[in-house]
Amino acid sequence: MTSFLVTGGAGFIGSNFVRQVVATTDHRVTVVDALTYAGNRDSLAGLPADRVRFVRGDVADADLMDELVADAEVVVHFAAESHNDNSLRDPSPFIRTNLVGTFTLLEACRRHDVRLHHISTDEVYGDLELDDPGKFTPETAYRPSSPYSASKAGSDHLVRAWVRSFGVAATLSNCSNNYGPYQHVEKFIPRQITNILDGGRPKLYGAGANVRDWIHVEDHNAAVLAIIERGRIGETYLIGADGEKDNRTVIETILRLMGRPEDGYDRVADRSGHDLRYAIDASKLRDELGWTPRYRNFEAGLAATVDWYRNNEAWWRPQKAAVEAAYATRGQ
């Protein structure tokens, strides 16, 4: 039994991680989450109180992080401002949470000699051309495009510097686009599913040729657990499941799965600085740690995700109108 401190555990990937830890291990979890607009306590509903404790708090609060890290054996750091479109409107919370928050946690881990796993994104590498046969590897140079991805890139650099300069026992992972239950309706896939459930139409940015490398959130989290258990300290592992799809194809698939005509979507204003393509080479993770994805059929995973949103309207309904109103002001 290990005691985990999970930051951002009321968010999309963090709450799925806590559920997976409870279901597949005997570890105890303390979740610390600021419950920003993106955090939702209902995402942790039904979990046993003797395994999961919830603390509302900010990762940039040095006193609180000191106290919580002192009690933990492993810190798993998911907390972040995570949405590119929001970072284009107001970058300031991204700098505070993603940079100052990561710095604050690193200092607490250093003081108490506690192991850290830092969750990051493939967006730190910028983008690939649509016709480039290559993929991101751990050797790819950092070239972030948006305030969000630049703040995540900075957080990765901080973690590596604290490993090298201060001997903090940290590992890092950079994952591609996740989908699955409990994802906020501002994000691409849940936005389209809930638009259709709401009687509206999906919204495609620009021509929709941009490619994302989709992975089910449970596969991401299984890889994170494998890295915590068997990863080498100081190493970076790229997580991806060979799930490249362009955005137009994803929208058409959602429409088909939901019994609508495949052309029943709107083209809306493109994202400024919109990254063209992400693609992950996960061979280091597969070869060193023996990880393989369980969700190999994107369409089946997407159908299960559609069902989840159909069956959990009470979870997403409170956020929907405000998210769509904010998009509408930007012509999206």
The residues annotated with a catalytic role in the active site are 122-123, 148
Among 187, 216, 277, 320, binds ligand TDX (CB under 6 A): 187
Round to the nearest angstrom and report the end-to-end CA distance of the chain.
47
- The letter for the amino acid at 210 is N
Contact 18, 31 (CB under 8 A): yes
Build a one-symbol-per-residue string for 33-72: x at contacts with ligand TDX by CB under 6 A, - elsewhere: ----------------------------------------
Partnered with residue 56 across adjacent β-strands are 33
* Nearest-approach distance from CB 324 to ligand TDX, in angstroms: 10
Which of ligand TDX, ligand NAD, none lies near 203, with the C-beta cut-off 5 to 8 A by kind?
ligand TDX
* Nearest-approach distance from CB 116 to ligand NAD, in angstroms: 13
Q: Which C-beta is closer to ligand TDX: that of 30 or that of 253? A: 253
Distance between CA 170 and CA 231 in Å, rounded?
A: 10
- The letter for the amino acid at 315 is W
**Residues 303, 238, 82, 276: what is their CA dihedral angle, to the nearest 10 degrees?**
-80
* Nearest-approach distance from CB 278 to ligand NAD, in angstroms: 10
Distance between CA 94 and CA 149 in Å, rounded?
A: 9
Contact 43, 182 (CB under 8 A): yes
Q: Does 177 bind ligand TDX (CB under 6 A)?
A: yes
Q: Return the residues of window 252-291 that contact ligand TDX according to CB under 6 A.
A: 271
Q: Which C-beta is closer to ligand TDX: that of 30 or that of 178? A: 178
Q: Which C-beta is closer to ligand NAD: that of 78 or that of 265? A: 78
Partnered with residue 117 across adjacent β-strands are 76, 171
Q: Which C-beta is closer to ligand TDX: that of 30 or that of 221? A: 221
- The letter for the amino acid at 243 is G
Distance between CA 64 and CA 71 in Å, rounded?
A: 11
Contact window for ligand TDX (CB under 6 A) among 81-89, 103-111, 215-223, 300-308: 81-89
Helices (H) and strands (E) in the chain, counts: 12, 13
Which of ligand NAD, ligand TDX, none lies near 188, with the C-beta cut-off 5 to 8 A by kind?
ligand TDX
* Nearest-approach distance from CB 210 to ligand TDX, in angstroms: 4
Partnered with residue 179 across adjacent β-strands are 216
Tokens of 230: 């068997």
Distance between CA 77 and CA 156 in Å, rounded?
A: 11
Contact window for ligand TDX (CB under 6 A) among 3-11, 28-36, 82-90, 103-111: 82-90
Residue nearest to ligand TDX (CB): 121
Q: Return the residues of window 127-166 that contact ligand TDX according to CB under 6 A.
A: none
Tokens of 116: 């850290």
Which of ligand TDX, ligand NAD, none lies near 247, with the C-beta cut-off 5 to 8 A by kind?
ligand TDX
Tokens of 184: 């906020």
* Nearest-approach distance from CB 80 to ligand NAD, in angstroms: 3
257: nearest Cα among 307, 194, 191, 190: 307
Q: Which residue has the tokens 């000191």?
A: 66
Among 188, 265, 309, 316, binds ligand TDX (CB under 6 A): 188
* Nearest-approach distance from CB 35 to ligand TDX, in angstroms: 18
CA 45, 50, 51: angle at the middle one, nearest 5? 70
> Which residue ranges make up the site for ligand TDX (CB under 6 A)?
82-84, 121, 123, 177, 187-188, 191, 203-205, 210, 212, 247, 271
